[in-house]
Amino acid sequence: MSQLVLEKLRQRFGTAILETHAHFGDDTAVVDAGMWRTVGQFLCDDPDLDFDMPIDLCGVDYPERVPRMEVVLHLYSIAKAHRVRLKTRVGDADMAGAELDSLVSIWPGLDWLEREVFDMSGVRFRGHPDLRRILMYPEFEGHPLQRTYPADKTQPLVAYRSEAEAGTPLEKLEPFGPDEGMPFGRGGLPRVAEDI
Amino acid sequence: MEALDLELDAGELELPAEPMHLNMGPSHPAMHGTVRIVLELSGETIVKADVQIGYLHRGFEKMCERGTWAQVFPYVDRLNYVSPMLNNVGYALAVEKLCGLSVPDRCQWYRMALGELARISDHLTCDGAMAMELGAFTPFLWFVKAREMVWDILEEETGARLTHSFGRIGGMAEPPTPDFKGLCRAGLPKILDLVEEGERMLLRNRIFLDRLENVGAISRADAIALGWTGPCLRATGVPYDIRKAHPYLKYDEVDFDVPVGTKGDTLDRFLVRLGEIRQSKRIIEQVLERMPDEGPLNCDDPRVVLPDKMAVYTTIEATIQHFKLIMEGARVPSGEVYSYTEGGNGELGYYLVSDGSGTPYRVRIRPPCFQITGGLSKILEGRMLSDIVPTFGSLNMIGGECDH
Amino acid sequence: MGDVNRSLALQGSEQGYATTRLDALLGWARKYSLFSYPFITACCGMEFMALTSPRFDVSRFGAEVPRFSPRQSDLLWVVGTISQRQGPVLKRIYEQMMAPKWVFAFGTCAATGGFYDNYTTVPGIDKIIPVDVYIPGCPPRPEAVLDGLMLLQDKIQRGERRPGVVKPRIDPAQQVSELVRLRRSAGDPRALLPALREEKRS
């Protein structure tokens, strides 16, 4: 993978690009959150880079680090056939200050993707035309893909029937005792060293 | 009595009216999954369409964080459930990219053949359902009959008709059966015959063409800016197919064309899918010629691939290896990777973040039909109410993928 | 209505509670003319499509007509995973149907929530609406669904409202014992070791 994209970014923005790498062949640049929109505009407008297709936007939660939420944007250029991954980090331990500029005016395809990042990870996008939940229902509280949200905490919209009403037992049988079975989210297991 | 109409101005005859709101879904006959479209209509014309998805959100990304890398395969199957083999192969390739593995040639050919069969099944379902929603029930039955033939082959190979969970990191679950090539070679001409019968019935029908032509058109630039990929993008004239542009597996060694449309309307999307069925058949035929009948299927890296069963029952090393791979998971090196393949609807991408353990830290799927459905409200504005059904059908929104 | 003709025995295969001739007639008419409302959400919908296809023809059971209005249907096929967001919709549609009505839980996700044990899935539609037949499978084979349909038809004839589950045709417990017997018949597994070493060498 040529280093063209990362070099142009470093030349143009200097210290706003916090780090770059190209592990596994994917060009990646970590950008300062305040420069998110400017870097995006440059990537779209520059004739050598010409990133016209937004591929994906998602959030990855690293709760033991501040800033906690990493927002990852993948871009592709149809004409030049190159890709880039742009990352930035927002939000402190309580997700305060998790705000970014919206890039919908540059790539309209990010409309729903930004709504999804807001819904699942809790990052707000300034300037988004219609920032509301997309995958969850409006009455849902919390942001499910944050690692602090318990995976099996349901917020039912319809109250479940009672056993008396149903005439049969409705509860799930617990297959395991409280200290048996796989913990949900295997954070308790020891991590392994990087090189194997 | 004086004539009432002489004194009135044209403007004064307008009665005050509010636009009508109509709710379509989330449970409606267009069997493409559950989507709710809240429409603002003025007469029959759509003024605004608010497409609301999320009725099939099953928490795929959160569930992946609870198990091992190999336990993601059943979840991944149920994303694009009309072409599950393509999802399996895409995810296996993503993890292999992170591990730095490459599978043997035989496995690569096998993955290609199964993937293309899944793609045929996807396009048959989409086009058949589209025809049915417009009232043409018979071609739907023929296409589903052809799809049953594809599913018979897949059932013989993988054991399941629909959600196979057949891919594994470093290979596939089982080697191809001895009858695989014979079954494919016998079945494919029959499938094409049924496709041609359906085409003959539909593509000369004035009503069918009128309902699809120039409906739901989108321009090249708009489609690219919205992030559309796959048959919907190719219908607008952009020949972007990942199998040609960034070949993976052995797609650079087989010969096939990429059907491209011109106007980007519903008819073009319908025709591009039919064309792709033919190209998939071509690919499968070439793969069957090149695929070796013997040889290892899985790569032999002991860090990710389960050992042979007889060895597990008789030697202690294999037992330990088996135990660690099942209980802790394959220990994938830490890092992040984005890997993309051509799914049934377009660029199916997986963004994986690993922390070096056997459990994925983050698995993000880039669903192709999420972006495509995001553009639905744009292409519906100004159209009429009855245009929603063919347009929405031609986008092939699969609920499991869109809502992941 | 039950008192009058209780002495009349039932012919043929109808076992179960004794009913009047009128009830028997009603049961026969209802079971062979089910108007279905396919509430389709997910992957099981593909098997539902296969069910209506010529191969696993569901019209030979009289249940082929999908009425996409709850007012006009009496059999609610809940096909696929029901998310929490979909819960109120499902309840509304069930309430809009008129009695007599029956509910199929088609697939494991509809019966129990499947392997989606998380914040967004309803763990089985029986938490929201009463279910008559549970059809397990992910997705169930069309033959299993037809077994469920026949089970439902039997229940309709007998007027029974207790929920039923479709059993597999071949009992897995039996199969396992056969497999174990096979392996034991190979004798001492260490005798297989030379064969293994042979394989590794070649």
pLDDT tens string B266-309: 999 999 999 999 999 999 999 999 999 988 899 988 888 999 88
C97 and C183 assigned to the same domain? no
Per-residue pLDDT, averaged over C48-59, amounts to: 90
The pLDDT of residue C131 is above 90: yes
DSSP string, C62-104: T---B-SSGGG-SEEEEES--BTTTHHHHHHHHHHSPSS-EEE
pLDDT confidence bin for C19, thresholds 50/70/90: low
Q: A56 and B349 in contact (C-beta within 8 Å)?
A: yes
Contact in structure between A98 and A145 (CB atoms under 8 Å): no
Q: Which pLDDT score is estimated for A4? A: 87
Claim to verify: residue C152 and residue C182 sit in the same structural domain: no
Q: Look at the block and give the residue holding tokens 């709504």.
A: A115
Question: Chain C: nearest CA to B156, how far in angstroms?
Answer: 14
Same domain, C144 and C187: no
Q: Which residues of chain A have pLDDT under 70?
A: 1-2, 168-169, 171-196
Closest of B376, B381, B384 to residue B402, by C-alpha: B376
Q: Answer yes or no: do B59 and A151 touch at CB < 8 A.
A: yes
Strand ranges in B15-138 using DSSP code E only, listed in sequence order: 20-24, 36-42, 45-52
DSSP 8-class letter at C105:
E
Rounded to 5 degrees, φ, ψ at A50 are 55, 50
d(Cα A137, Cα C136) in Å, to the nearest integer? 28
d(CA B4, CA B138): 56
Per-state percent for chain B, helix, strand, coil, to nearest 5:
50, 10, 40
Tell me whether residue A191 is in a domain.
no
Task: Provide the residue range defining the domain that includes A155.
Answer: 4-173
- Answer whether residue A65 is part of any domain: yes
Contact B226, A109 (CB under 8 A): yes
The DSSP output letter for B208 is H
Size of interface B-C (CB pairs under 8 A): 103
Closest to C101 in 3D by CA, of C61, C69, C130, C134: C130
User: Which residues between 29 and 58 in chain A have a beta carbon less than 8 angstroms from any beta carbon of chain B?
Assistant: 52-56, 58
In terms of Cα–Cα distance, which of C98, C175, C177, C86 is closest to C128? C86
Task: Look at the block and give the residue holding tokens 């009463």.
Answer: C130
Q: What is the pLDDT of residue B17?
A: 73
Q: Do A151 and B375 touch (CB under 8 A)?
A: no
Split into its structural domains, chain A has a count of: 1
Answer yes or no: do C138 and C53 share one domain: yes
Question: Does A185 fall in a domain?
Answer: no
* Structural domains of chain C, count: 2
Average pLDDT on B142-156 reads 94
Looking at the fold, whether C159 and C176 belong to one and the same domain comes out as no
Rg for chain B (alpha carbons), in Å? 24
| B324 touches A: beta carbon within 8 Å | no
Residue B146, pLDDT above cutoff 70:
yes
Q: Which of B359-373, C6-20, C171-185 has the highest mean pLDDT?
A: B359-373
Q: Do C100 and C151 belong to one domain? A: yes
Whether C15 is covered by a domain: the verdict is no
| pLDDT (0 to 100) of residue B105 | 94
pLDDT tens for each residue of B106-134: 999 999 999 999 999 999 999 999 999 99
- Which residue did the predictor score with more confidence, B243 or A171? B243
Residue type, B180: F
Answer whether residue C10 is part of any domain: no
* Residue C3: band (very low, low, confident or very high) from pLDDT cuts 50, 70, 90: very low
Compute, in degrees rounded to 10, the torsion defined by CA atoms C58, C63, C68, C69.
Answer: -170
H or E segment at A101? strand A99-101
Mean pLDDT check: name the lowest of B79-83, C29-33, C168-172.
C168-172
Q: How far apart are CA B184 and CA B150, in angstroms?
A: 8
Residues of B in Cβ contact (< 8 Å) with A151: 59, 62-63, 65-66
CB A74 within 8 A of CB A55: yes
User: What domain range is C134 assigned to?
Assistant: 21-165
Residue recorded with tokens 């020949």: B239
Region B152-161: mean pLDDT is 92
Q: How far is C81 from chain B (nearest CA, A)?
A: 7
A141 class by beta-carbon count within 10 Å (0-12 exposed, 13-18 middle, 19+ buried): exposed
Domain-wise residue ranges, chain B: 17-50, 51-403
As a whole-number percent, the residues of chain B with pLDDT over 70 amount to 96
| Cβ separation A144–C123 shorter than 8 A | no
Number of Cβ atoms within 10 Å of the Cβ of B137:
12
CB contact under 8 A, B314 and C193: yes
pLDDT, tens only, C140-158: 999 999 999 999 999 999 8
Amino acid found at C109: C
pTM of the model: 0.89
Task: Give C-chain residues touching A154 at CB under 8 angstroms.
Answer: 84, 118-120
User: Which residue spans within B131-270 are E strands per DSSP?
Assistant: 167-168, 171-172
On whether any CB of chain B is under 8 Å from the CB of A185, the answer is: yes
- Kindly state whether residue C110 falls inside one of the protein's structural domains: yes
Task: Judge whether C39 and B27 are in contact, CB under 8 Å.
Answer: yes
Within-domain flag for A88: yes
Residue B29 burial (CB count, 10 A): 15
pLDDT of residue C201: 52
Check whether C193 has a pLDDT greater than 90.
no
B19 or A192, which is more confident?
B19
Q: Tell me how far CA of residue B381 lies from CA of B39, B376, B385, B387, in angstroms.
A: 10, 9, 10, 10
Residue type present at position C128: I
Query: Mean pLDDT in chain C?
Result: 81
Among the partner residues C91, C119, C123, nearest to A158 by beta-carbon distance: C91
- End-to-end, the C-alpha distance of chain C in Å comes to 80
Cβ distance A154 to C163 less than 8 Å, yes or no, reads no
Looking at the complex, report in whole angstroms how far the Cα of residue A23 sits from the nearest Cα belonging to chain C.
Answer: 33
Residues of A in contact with C122 (CB under 8 A): 156
The 10 Å Cβ neighbour count of residue B325 is 22
Is the predicted pLDDT of residue C183 greater than 80, yes or no?
no
How many whole angstroms from its chain centre is CA B298? 25
User: Band of the pLDDT at B6, cuts 50, 70, 90?
Assistant: low
Beta strands in chain C (DSSP E): 36-40, 75-79, 102-106, 133-135, 164-165
- State the fold for domain B51-403: Cytochrome-c3 Hydrogenase; chain B (1.10.645)
Strand order in the sheet with C133-135: C36-40, C75-79, C102-106, C133-135, C164-165
State whether B359 and A24 contact (CB < 8 Å).
Answer: no
Which among A145, A155, A158, A168 is the top mutation candidate for probing chain C, defined by the most C β-carbons within 10 Å of its own β-carbon?
A158
**Residue C103: HSE in the Cβ half-sphere, 13 Å Cα cutoff:** 24
CA distances from B114 to A62, B30, B183, B278 (A): 37, 28, 12, 15
Is the pLDDT score of C179 beyond 70?
no
| pLDDT of amino acid C168 | 79
Mean pLDDT of B236-263: 94
Give which of B292, B350, B302 is closest to B322, Cα–Cα: B302
* pLDDT at C189 exceeding the cut of 80: no
Residue A66 lies in a domain: yes
pLDDT digits (tens, 9 = 90+) for C79-126: 999 999 999 999 999 999 998 999 999 999 999 888 888 899 998 898
